[in-house]
């Protein structure tokens, strides 16, 4: 359905490089390792799944990828640029233009229409209104939501909401999509439909990093990381 961008870098070039990336907390005088020193390279066009039991550090890793938390130690390069130590404005700009996020609970803004929801990242990217709406509609059309632009998230099914969330993640055409258990709130059939969308995005050249509990989704991945007690290892 979609073609890889002609300007996309070669699929083997590293998109993300983690070196000794670590996240610790202190609780009651005890140092807790949410993520132990992790080295990882994610190349352009990869489909990475992150698996592990609850509390193992999957979400911590995803939040570090998404710059929603700062690492305690180590470096995080995104397209060769160290991004973990940036100030708030620069971090926000990276989140806005380089990273698309899809959440388990969709996190759509219920008081906005689905078109407005899709437009939110583009507002922060400073796109003109007309261009923004045009792109928002095209994205919704792409995911089978044409004609539903004025609907509110509460009027849609879970699968439709997740499709809106994916459309929103693609709004600024970021190179990487982070998905935190995107099928966790969906039934099996709808979950498979959503995975089909991710597979299609991967084929179009997007780099997908997905946290999941479901080992069946391993088959979609080109790369897999397993985490136990904060220790990440490629499998």
Partner 1 sequence: MNLLEMSVTVYASLTRHLVRSLLATLGIVLGIAAVVAMLAIGEGGRQEALRQIESQGIDNIILRSVKPAEGNAQQTTRSYTQRYGITQRDVEHIESVFENVRLIVPVMEVRREIYLGQTSTDIKAVATTPAFLEVSRCRLVDSRSRFLVPTDGKILDPVCVVGTKAARRLFGHRDPLGQAVVIGNVSFRVVGLVENPGGGRIGGQFELNNLVCMPLETATSLWGGITIQMRRGMAEKVDYDFLYLAAKNIDAIPGTAGRLRTYLRGAHAQVDYEVQVPYELLQSARRTQRIFTVVMTSIAAISLLVGGIGIMNIMLANIFERTREIGVRRALGARKRDILWQFLAESVLLTSIGGGLGAGLGIATAAAAEMISRLGGEAGLKAVVTSESLIVALAVSVITGISFGTHPAWKAAQLDPLTALRHE
Please report, for residues 28, 117, 222, 229, the alpha-carbon distance to residue 177 in angstroms, rounded to integers and kept in the order given. 36, 17, 15, 25
Nearest Cα to Cα of residue 214 among 63, 51, 64: 51
Q: Which part of the chain contacts partner 1 (CB under 8 A), choosing from 20-28, 43-51, 65-73, 197-205?
A: 65-73
- Considering only residues 23, 43, 44, 95, which one is a binding residue for partner 1 as defined by CB under 8 A? 95
Q: Is residue 86 at the binding interface for partner 1, with CB under 8 A as the rule? A: no
- Considering only residues 21, 96, 211, 221, which one is a binding residue for partner 1 as defined by CB under 8 A? 96
Nearest Cα to Cα of residue 198 among 17, 54, 83, 186: 186
Nearest Cα to Cα of residue 188 among 147, 219, 217, 150: 217
Burial of 141 (0-12, 13-18, 19+ CB in 10 A): middle
Q: Is residue 37 at the binding interface for partner 1, with CB under 8 A as the rule? A: no
Q: Is residue 107 at the binding interface for partner 1, with CB under 8 A as the rule? A: yes
Write each residue from 162 to 181 as x if it is in contact with partner 1 (CB under 8 A), else as -, in one continuous string: ------x---x---------
Q: Is residue 134 at the binding interface for partner 1, with CB under 8 A as the rule? A: no
Please identify, using beta-carbon distances, which residue of 10 and 126 lies nearer to partner 1. Answer: 126
Task: State the sign of the Cα–Cα–Cα–Cα dihedral 81, 84, 87, 92.
Answer: positive
Question: What is the CB neighbour count within 10 angstroms for residue 56?
Answer: 20
Q: Is residue 126 at the binding interface for partner 1, with CB under 8 A as the rule? A: yes
Nearest Cα to Cα of residue 166 among 109, 106, 210: 106
Please identify, using beta-carbon distances, which residue of 132 and 221 lies nearer to partner 1. Answer: 132
Q: Is residue 77 at the binding interface for partner 1, with CB under 8 A as the rule? A: no
Binding site for partner 1 (CB under 8 A): 63, 66, 68-69, 88-89, 92-93, 95-97, 101, 103, 107, 109, 111-112, 116, 120-121, 123-126, 129, 168, 172
């Amino acid at each position: 359905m979609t073609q890889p961008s002609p300007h996309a870098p070669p699929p083997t070039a590293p998109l993300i490089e983690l070196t000794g990336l670590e996240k610790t907390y202190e609780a009651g005088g005890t140092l807790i390792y949410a993520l132990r020193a992790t080295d990882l390279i994610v190349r352009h066009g990869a489909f990475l799944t992150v698996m592990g039991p609850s509390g193992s550090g999957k979400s911590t890793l995803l939040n570090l990828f998404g710059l929603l938390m700062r690492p305690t130690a180590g470096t995080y390069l995104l397209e060769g640029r160290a991004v973990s130590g940036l100030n708030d404005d620069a971090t926000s700009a990276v989140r806005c233009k380089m990273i698309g996020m899809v959440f388990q609970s969709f996190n759509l803004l219920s008081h906005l229409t689905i078109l407005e929801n899709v437009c939110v990242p583009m507002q922060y990217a400073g796109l003109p209104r007309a261009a923004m709406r045009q792109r928002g509609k095209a994205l919704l059309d792409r995911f089978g939501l044409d004609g539903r632009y004025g609907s509110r998230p509460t009027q849609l099914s879970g699968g439709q909401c997740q499709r809106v969330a994916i459309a929103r993640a693609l709004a600024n055409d970021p190179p990487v999509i982070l998905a935190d258990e995107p099928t966790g709130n969906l039934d099996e059939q709808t979950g498979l439909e959503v995975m089909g969308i991710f597979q299609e995005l991967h084929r179009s050249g997007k780099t997908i990093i997905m946290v999941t509990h479901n080992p069946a989704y391993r088959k979609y991945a080109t790369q897999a990381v397993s985490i136990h007690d904060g220790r990440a290892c490629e499998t």
